[in-house]
Copies of this chain bind each other. A is one copy, B any other.
Amino acid sequence: MNGTFSIGDLAREFGVTLRTLRFYEDKRLLSPRRRGPVRLYSRRDRARLKLILLGKRVGFSLSQIKEMLDLYELKDGKARHLKAALARFSAHVEVLRHQKEDIEQAIRELTHTMGIVAGMLRDREERGDFFPAAEPAE
C-alpha cells in the first residue's frame, strides 16, 4: 500500500510467475531491494516491470529492453535518447512487418497444400485406392 510490493503482489498484478520476476532480476532488468533474503519492489521497480512487459508485447528481446531501460536511466541527453528510441522502434516495426509477411506466406502455402491433399482424397473416393504421390515431381 505504501509503495513496496512483494514478489507475489507483482506476479498477481501483472500475470507473470515468480520465476519470471527472479529471472528478470538475474538478467538485471529489475533490482529490487531486500529485507533479509526477501525481495521488496518499489514503485519504480513496478514501473520498470510495466515497461519490460510492454517491450515484450511488441516483440523486443529482453536484452534490447535492458539496453533501452539502461539508457533511459542515464538522465543526460534525454532528447537524444528519445530520438534513438524512435529510430529503434521504427526499425522494429519493419521487422514485425516482415514477420507478418512470413506468416502470410506460410498461410498461403498451407492452404495450397490443403487443396492438394483434399484433391488426393477426392481421387481416392472416386476411383479407389491408388498410390498417392509421395514425393513432389523430380
| Residues of A that sit less than 8 Å from B by CB | 43-44, 47, 50, 54, 57-59, 75-80, 82-83, 85-86, 89-90, 92-93, 96-97, 99-100, 103-107, 109-111, 113-114, 117-118, 120-121, 124, 129, 131-136, 138
Contact = CB atoms under 8 A, between A and B. Distances in A.
A85 B114 CA distance: 9
Contacts of A90: 114
Given A104-B100, A106-B96, A110-B96, A136 B50 contact: yes
Contact of A107 (B47, B75, B93, B120): B93
A76 to B, nearest CB: 6
Contacts of A82: 117, 120-121, 132
